[in-house]
Structure 1
């Protein structure tokens, strides 16, 4: 039976990938083909199946990757092949997005389609800039205008008299090239030159910038600041509320570009934590994790669990690899009956909790020394301790516990290797002075970073803050002649982020930081 194709016209939202609708995301996850725009966040493409065809048809001022007629034909052609096609458009498909034209073409061609609305750029830009588009004390009317219309319909032919006097708040999309005309016509038709204006560029992203002024002076301010598209223009008294309601750009790490070097499988959660504080986060892993070359020692330790007193896990990686191996051996958490679980810190304890297990012991100091001190206090003489660990982990835990009289089984549970790719990307970021900080959450990430960047790593890092999760990583940095600027009191990601916030709060106006933007 021939499969029937369908096209989904999906609003990608204004830039923040978290603003796509649940239905839009679900469409992406079923897509065979994704046809996407310049203003659709590329991060959303990861929601599509790996095998899905991804076709860029982006359009920015003066540059068309593919003419609209060819985009229309492309959508229909892929659907005729029986494909599920997602047309991913910035903002909302039916708000100045030419989605109506695409829908009409599909209907004419007999192609089934659905429209999935998105958060329009104008609404989102205002909200993220701290501007309510309507407010009963200011205005209850709102107008949306495209500032870059079809060439056959010049802006000068708009009903400026009604726009100037009949609508409280005006939002102009794609209007930067016509900003001078917009301000001139509004004033000429009766709008006060003192009317507040806000221009928001790259709205809802870490690159967001907001410029405010009045109809009288905003053009000069835009020229002085070299303020470029993509941007939304908001005109009206409600702009005054920004001074009270701005929130997005006031987050403590807003405007800071941070590099994280964790393994790819661990980076996502940390990245989200930093982005919630306003940072722009780049991720270039300097380690990758692999299974041990020989599972035999780990399997022997698992077989001896009925006679084991303590299981020590010192990272979320250790939790992941340990339970994956249990599963491979046909076992589950029941194999740990009678074993006391020791987690190095709250994140490792949380990883255990996700598997329905509660850590019995968590040290106050979230590093190897803390584990030793905790078990010293509990008493391990004559006890059996199973400590599966990373290949390059320090031998401190095994050595110290044996000195306390414990029988310690410490096999290699996983290896951390340096990725084959990424060195050129790291060098390019440093050479462009594109970073405010580089964050290291383990000695191995730092050692591999230096190896991947090259011998001149210290020189390239001048003016960039280095953040270390704790003393062992800091000592590794010092070994390479690097200065650590940020180190938390406790070796957790939460404390590391708080230390970064404190550092950048103190250095907000100091010179020497990396280029912003």
Structure 2
């Protein structure tokens, strides 16, 4: 069985290796790419906390000349944490799941003080900023990168499985693949984008390696439903 992983770099670290141990042929083809924008980071300069929801955001602020040392940093997932630490930052908070909701919950559970800066992409959902503002925090968001679609390679045959990790990725999915493959939707927003295009899908209930593995095992008849 062949599966194509379309998520962006850094998401679901270790998934390919897990799937290969299950006997799947794994191909990697991200359906999105990111591009740093000429953003002004000065609105974030007096924010004690900077919260990062992607590796792309880390890469963008570094390309824009930011110095992460001396700041309190929060990250979504291990890949974002690793990118921050490799850049010399000290990560004080890591969300257990790769979602903005998880980062908001982890931050609010600690109730730290200080303004919060959010370096984000142009298609970032407003949930993180909204949750923090509702809790009384002063939040400053700056769009530091944009997300661009990457076309499906015309020479790549339709696989048995395709993992979609974002609405942006769904946009790059050709009709023949959407109709011919079994689509796995990572989270409700990706599922909604697939439904809008009229594609059938199986929902992966959590944005984690384990949830993807368990979903595929269920589809293969190896476990009980999640």
TM-score bucket (shorter structure): 0.7 to 0.9
Counterpart in 2 of 1:286?
31
CA displacement at 1:317 relative to structure 2: 1.8
- Compared CA separation, residues 376 and 285, structure 1 to 2 (3 A): closer
Q: How does 1:265-276 map to 2 (within 5 A)?
A: 271-276=16-21
Q: How does 1:431-442 map to 2 (within 5 A)?
A: 435-442=159-166
Q: Deviations over 1:322-360 (max 9, x none)?
A: 2333xxx3x6442xx1x3211122332233344454432
Counterpart in 2 of 1:443?
167
Counterpart in 2 of 1:465?
182
Rg bigger for which structure? Answer: 1
| Distance in 2, Cα, partners of 1:405 & 1:380 | 11
Partners of 2:3 and 2:163 within 8 A in 1:
yes
Partners of 1:488 and 1:495 within 8 A in 2:
no
Of 149, 152, 166, which residue of structure 2 is paired with 1:422? 152
Counterpart in 1 of 2:100?
368
CA displacement at 1:483 relative to structure 2: 3.0
| Distance in 2, Cα, partners of 1:425 & 1:398 | 41
Counterpart in 2 of 1:350?
82
TM-score (norm: length of structure 1): 0.38
TM-score (norm: length of structure 2): 0.81
- Compared CA separation, residues 425 and 284, structure 1 to 2 (3 A): farther
- Greater strand share, 1 or 2? 2
Determine if the alignment matches structure 1 residue 485 to structure 2 residue 202: yes
Helix, strand or coil at the partner of 1:352: helix
| Distance in 2, Cα, partners of 1:496 & 1:321 | 29
Counterpart in 2 of 1:134?
none
Unaligned runs of 5+ in 1: 1-255, 509-517
Counterpart in 2 of 1:388?
119
Counterpart in 2 of 1:403?
134
CA displacement at 1:417 relative to structure 2: 0.5
Matched positions, count: 222
| Distance in 2, Cα, partners of 1:270 & 1:346 | 13
Partners of 1:274 and 1:497 within 8 A in 2:
no
Partners of 1:488 and 1:499 within 8 A in 2:
no
Q: Deviations over 1:482-508 (max 9, x none)?
A: 33325143x12x224422442344169
| Distance in 2, Cα, partners of 1:495 & 1:359 | 24
